[in-house]
């Protein structure tokens, strides 16, 4: 089981990140082919990586061990799920990019099991370093406190709801797959939704419009995720960070001490003021170049390494367990059914702001 596994990447758009994960060595894995539609982009990528380009299933030879399907699934208008079925039939283990309809997902899981093969859905962002750090911190906090989070807040777009729910359910680890959803507000650019997951009350703000001519862009918010305990709040501010822990301020002597706070601080009798207001657990990348050259390919590498370790006999990581993956898909479908179709809009490119101007805008005009 420890021989090098030959990997086929299927899809040359987001699939480029999968290819880029091989820019650094991947022990036990060999990038051995690209399957795409034969566009100039696909030809350029195949040449750059020195791998053959296949433009149809019939061209793909035997000998591949793992197929990474980075093509839209049926539910979002693509052929990814049919390709997954066909490549499982060719004897390949499969990693497929999200989202998937739960019925389709379950069918592919059952097919893989019947063939003795592995099949995972990759929601991607939980395996990026920021998402992974957020999940690790959530697990540690719940363990240290010996209690579940009491609330969660998510803000996301339709395009990124599936991966946001994957992050949430991994962070909360547990709960029922059937929830009662209430839509609180349909005004403005977001639908406000509430539901409970186990002991946790969840509030979701979901962007309610898309541009069908450019469905991967125009997200007002990507992944803003907060979970909170009486002890504090853990925040994922964006898809790639930062990750912040903000403890609840609590003064044991509030209302009981006869001294002013100033006097107590001077006498070192107020330990609460020496605690950090917020701790950065994981910083954000400097720019989007760092995301596409480092963070995103590393997220793919993390999935591939985990998949290889599982193929070699180790347990499935929690985020890739079949039951968890089905639960995410079912909740995603349930929420979208509840809120109904997205509004369709033709959108202009957003205006950009030079962030340096914001850094320099520190003078509030107050007298010195």
Count of CB atoms within 10 A of residue 59's CB? 11
The pLDDT value given to residue 266: 61
The pLDDT value given to residue 345: 85
CATH code 3.40.50.720 region(s) in the chain: 5-122
In the CATH hierarchy, which fold is given to the domain comprising 5-122? Answer: Rossmann fold (3.40.50)
- Compute CA distances 6 → 17, 27, 106, 169, 310, whole Å: 17, 11, 26, 32, 16
Dihedral over alpha carbons 50, 52, 53, 57 (to 10 degrees): -150
Residue 228: strand, helix, or coil: strand
The pLDDT value given to residue 254: 61
Residues 6+ apart with CB under 8 A from 92: 8, 64, 65, 66, 67, 117
Q: Report the alpha-carbon distance of residue 227 to residue 54 in Å, rounded.
A: 45
The pLDDT value given to residue 2: 65
Residue 343 burial by Cβ neighbours in a 10 Å radius (0-12, 13-18, 19+): exposed
Pairing outcome for strands 151-156 and 93-97: unpaired
DSSP bridge pairs for 53? 34
Q: Report the alpha-carbon distance of residue 75 to residue 107 in Å, rounded.
A: 14
Concatenating the DSSP letter of every residue in 26-52 gives: -TTEEEEEEE----HHHHHHHHHHT--
Concatenating the DSSP letter of every residue in 6-24 gives: EEEEE-SSTHHHHHHGGGS
Mean pLDDT by 10 residues, the chain (368 residues): 89 95 95 96 96 96 97 94 98 98 98 98 97 97 95 96 97 78 86 93 95 89 96 97 92 63 59 83 96 96 97 94 96 94 90 84 65
The pLDDT value given to residue 189: 93
CATH code 3.30.360.10 region(s) in the chain: 127-295+329-344
Q: Report the alpha-carbon distance of residue 148 to residue 201 in Å, rounded.
A: 11
In the numeric block, the tokens 């509840």 are attached to: 338
pLDDT tens digit sequence for 67-120: 999 999 999 999 999 999 999 999 999 999 999 999 999 999 999 999 999 999
Rounded to 5 degrees, φ, ψ at 292 are -80, -25
Output the furthest CA–CA distance in the chain (Å, rounded). 83
Residues 6+ apart with CB under 8 A from 135: 126, 167, 170, 171
Q: Which of 222, 221, 220, 175 lies closest to 202 in space, CA to CA?
A: 175
- Is the distance from CB of 224 to CB of 155 less than 8 angstroms? yes
The pLDDT value given to residue 238: 96
Residues 6+ apart with CB under 8 A from 364: none
- CA 309-129-125 angle, to 5 degrees, is 85
DSSP bridge pairs for 9? 34, 68
- Sheet-wide strand order for 119-122: 53-54, 29-35, 5-10, 66-69, 93-97, 119-122
- CATH class of segment(s) 127-295+329-344: alpha beta
């Amino acid at each position: 089981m420890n021989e090098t596994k030959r990997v086929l990447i299927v899809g040359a758009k987001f699939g480029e990140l999968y290819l880029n994960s091989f820019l650094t060595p991947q022990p036990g894995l060999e990038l051995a082919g690209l399957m795409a539609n034969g566009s100039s982009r696909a030809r350029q990528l195949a040449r750059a990586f020195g791998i053959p380009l296949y433009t149809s299933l019939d061209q793909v030879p035997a000998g591949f061990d793992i197929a990474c399907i980075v093509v839209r699934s049926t539910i979002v208008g693509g052929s990814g799920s049919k390709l997954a079925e066909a490549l499982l039939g060719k004897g390949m283990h499969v990693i497929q990019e999200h989202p998937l309809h739960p019925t389709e997902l379950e069918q592919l899981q059952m097919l893989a099991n019947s063939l003795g093969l592995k099949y995972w859905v990759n929601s991607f962002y939980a395996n990026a370093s920021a998402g992974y750090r957020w999940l690790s911190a959530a697990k540690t906090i719940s363990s240290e406190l010996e209690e579940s989070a009491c609330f969660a807040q998510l803000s996301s777009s339709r395009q990124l709801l599936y991966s946001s729910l994957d992050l949430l359910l991994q962070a909360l680890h547990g709960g029922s797959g059937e929830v009662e959803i209430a839509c609180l507000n349909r005004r403005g650019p977001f639908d406000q939704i509430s539901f409970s997951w186990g002991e946790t009350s969840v509030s979701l703000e979901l962007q309610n419009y898309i541009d069908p001519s450019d469905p991967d862009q125009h997200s007002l918010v990507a992944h803003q995720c907060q979970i909170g305990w009486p002890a504090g709040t853990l925040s994922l501010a964006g898809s790639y960070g930062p990750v912040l822990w903000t403890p609840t301020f609590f003064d044991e002597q509030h209302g009981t001490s006869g001294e002013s706070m100033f006097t107590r601080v001077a006498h070192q009798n107020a330990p609460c003021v020496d605690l950090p207001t917020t701790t950065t657990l994981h910083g954000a990348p400097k720019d989007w170049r760092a995301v596409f050259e480092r963070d995103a390919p590393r997220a793919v590498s993390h999935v591939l390494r985990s998949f290889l370790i599982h193929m070699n006999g180790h347990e499935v990581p929690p985020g890739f367990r079949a039951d968890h993956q089905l639960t995410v898909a079912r909740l995603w479908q349930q929420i979208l059914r509840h809120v109904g179709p997205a509004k369709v809009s033709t959108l202009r490119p957003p205006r950009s702001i030079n962030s340096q101007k914001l850094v320099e805008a520190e003078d509030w005009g107050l007298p010195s």
